[in-house]
Amino acid sequence: MTIARASVLEEMASGIAHEFNQPLGAIVTFSQTAERMLNRADPMIDAAREVLQLIVKEALGASDGIRRVRHLFNQDSPSRTLSSMRDVVQELSAVLELLALRTGGRLVIEIAAPLPDVSIDRLRIQHVLFTLVQNAFEASEPSNQADRPEVRITVTADRYEVEVAVLDSGSGVTAEHRGRIFHPFFTTKSRGTGLGLASTRAIIEAHQGSVGFDNLPGRGARFWFRLPAGESPSPP
C-alpha cells in the first residue's frame, strides 16, 4: 500500500468516525438516562418515553449517514442515455429557482448553442448540478446592501466536451482548503457532511469526465465539470 493511499484511507476512516461518533454517543447517553428513569422507585414513564424518542431520532440520523456513505462509494455504472445538456439544465431550472428564492438570491442561466449531446445518467448529473448550485447560493454574498447574491450557470462546449460551470459571488476557496475541497468528509460548514462535493467528483469521474474549480478575479469561485461529447450538436 502506498503512502498516499494509506493517507486517504486514514482520512476516510477519521471522517467516518466523526460522522457516527456523535449519534452513537447520544444514543448511549440517552439510553443510560432512560434506564435511570425507569429504575426509580416511582418510574418516570412519560419522561423516559420522550428520551426513547430521542434515541430513535439519533438512530435514524446514523442510518441516514450510512446511506450517504454507501451512495458516495457506490461504483455501479451509471445508466446512460444520449441527452442534451440544455434539456438537463432546463428540466432542473424550476428547482434551482426555488433555491434562489429560499436564499433571497438571483439565478442566471446561460446556455450556448449549438451543443453536442452527452451520454449521461440524467438524474446523477442533475444531482451534481443541484449540489453545485446549492453550495454556490450558500457561499454567495451581495456586493452591496442593495444587491441580491447572484449565482450564474454557464453551459459551453467544443467538439470534444461539454462544460457546465457554476459561478458564485462569495469569498472564493482559501489556499488552505484548495487541496481538500473534493475529499470525502471535508467541509467548511458547521452542519455539513463533507459528502456533496466528494459525491460530485465520483459521479463525474464515473462518466469519464473531470471536475474542478477556479477562484474568480476579485471575488467568488467557479466550480465546473466537463463531460465527453457524444453525437452531433443539438439544435438551440
Task: Return the pLDDT at 1.
Answer: 42
Q: Is the pLDDT of residue 45 over 50?
A: yes
**Euclidean distance between CA atoms 177 and 183, whole angstroms:** 10
151 and 108 Cβ atoms separated by less than 8 Å: yes
Instruction: For residue 17, name the pLDDT band (cuts at 50, 70, 90).
Output: low
Instruction: For residue 228, name the pLDDT band (cuts at 50, 70, 90).
Output: very high
Helices (H), 2-147: 3-38, 45-72, 85-103, 122-139
Q: Is the pLDDT of residue 129 over 70?
A: yes
Looking at this protein, which amino acid is placed at residue 43?
P
Task: Return the pLDDT at 192.
Answer: 45
Please, what is the Cα angle at 197 between 196 and 201, to 5 degrees? 120
Write out pLDDT tens, residues 147-205: 778 899 999 999 899 999 999 988 766 666 565 666 655 455 545 445 668 878 888 88
H helix or E strand, kind and range, residue 82:
strand 81-83
High-pLDDT (> 70) share of the chain, %: 67
- Distinct helix (H) and strand (E) counts, the chain: 5, 9
Task: Return the pLDDT at 30.
Answer: 81
Write out pLDDT tens, residues 47-84: 888 888 888 877 777 666 666 555 555 555 557 889 99
Report pTM.
0.63
196 and 130 Cβ atoms separated by less than 8 Å: no
131 and 151 Cβ atoms separated by less than 8 Å: no
For residue 147, CA distances in Å to 4, 38, 140, 227, 235 come to: 45, 57, 11, 34, 35
Task: Return the pLDDT at 162.
Answer: 96
H helix or E strand, kind and range, residue 154:
strand 150-157
**Euclidean distance between CA atoms 224 and 133, whole angstroms:** 11
**Euclidean distance between CA atoms 24 and 19, whole angstroms:** 10
Asked if the peptide bond before residue 114 counts as cis, ω within 30 degrees of 0, the response is yes
Instruction: For residue 117, name the pLDDT band (cuts at 50, 70, 90).
Output: very high
Average confidence score pLDDT of the chain: 77
Instruction: For residue 118, name the pLDDT band (cuts at 50, 70, 90).
Output: very high
